[in-house]
Homo-oligomer: A and B are copies of this chain.
Amino acid sequence: MIKEGEWVLLWRNSRSNYLVKAGKNRFNTDCGYLDLEQLKGREFGREFFTHTKNKFYLLKPSLECVVMRGFKRRTQIIYPKDAAFIISKAGIFSGSRVLETGTGSGAMTAFLAAAVMPEGKVYSYERNPDFYANACNNLASAGLLDYVVIKNKEVKQGFDEEAVDFVMLDIPAPWELLGPVCRALKKGRKLASILPTVNQAERFVLDLEAKGFVNIEVFELWARRMLFRQGRSRPEQLMHSHTGYLIFAAKVFVS
């Protein structure tokens, strides 16, 4: 049963679909409007009709759908393909304790929170008050606030947490925080970062090596959509050819 405030993906077809929240407003689609009040109490997977009798289906959106289409953006956000790859490499699970900076719009925070819930926690630092407030709203709207602690402060002086299982550095100059990261991260565990330019990636890798980090890996990840249609199947003609360099490294005890 769909509840007040729950996200619903209204699906007519691949060109006409909308992410909405069950609530009070009227919502306009490209083929008629509908009343979001009436979504409440409906069942996922059922039909729902606009005032002009056009049929939509009520789909349960995945978190990546909510993040990409429901989150308000004040910053560039991480792509789900990259977030999924990072979490897979991170070695985190339900119960893990994770550090992140900066929170940005809370996209990566949301994916991390979903990975460590219900017992774990994400501690996320964001110095910009507007970004901070927006990220809090986004995470609340995704129902993930119980699993995150967002802090509106600088990391410069260090993280408040110790012995965390993973650190995600989503800032332009992650090398500046290697001191605090080393104090907060458990030995034998990983940090990750995503950086848009080769210069940042090279700088970070060389600094990680100099600081004694090991198992340093960098990846680019591409996803290309395929369109299958009877006798006319082909790849999509445009794709995202660069989102960022994904960087991983493990901290060890350096004597």
On whether A64 and B44 interact (CB within 8 A), knowing A11-B215, A224-B220, A230-B206, the answer reads: no
A122 → B minimal CB distance (Å): 14
A88 to B91, CA, bound (A): 15
Are B253 and A45 in contact (CB-based, < 8 A)? yes
A157 within 8 A of B: no
A27 within 8 A of B: no
A233 within 8 A of B: yes
A111 → B minimal CB distance (Å): 8
How many chain A residues sit at the interface, stated as a range, is 35 or more
A33 within 8 A of B: no
A105-135 CB mask vs B (1 if < 8 Å, else 0) is 0000001001101110000000000000000
Question: A13, A111, A187 — which one has the most chain B CB atoms within 10 A of its CB?
Answer: A187
A36 within 8 A of B: no
Question: A14, A111, A218, A243 — which one has the most chain B CB atoms within 10 A of its CB?
Answer: A218
Are B91 and A80 in contact (CB-based, < 8 A)? no
Are B188 and A45 in contact (CB-based, < 8 A)? yes
Number of copies: 4
A215 to B58, CA, bound (A): 11
A1-19 CB mask vs B (1 if < 8 Å, else 0) is 0000000010101100100
A54-83 CB mask vs B (1 if < 8 Å, else 0) is 000111111110000000000000001101
A154 within 8 A of B: no
On whether A214 and B11 interact (CB within 8 A), knowing A84-B85, A198-B198, the answer reads: yes
Query: A219 to chain B: which residues have CB within 8 Å?
Result: 223-226
A32 within 8 A of B: no
A22 → B minimal CB distance (Å): 13
CB within 8 Å of B: which A198-237 residues: 198-199, 201-202, 205-206, 214-228, 230-237
Interface pairs (13), CB distance under 8 Å? A13-B214, A43-B253, A44-B187, A46-B187, A47-B252, A63-B88, A93-B114, A115-B115, A199-B233, A202-B228, A218-B225, A218-B226, A224-B242
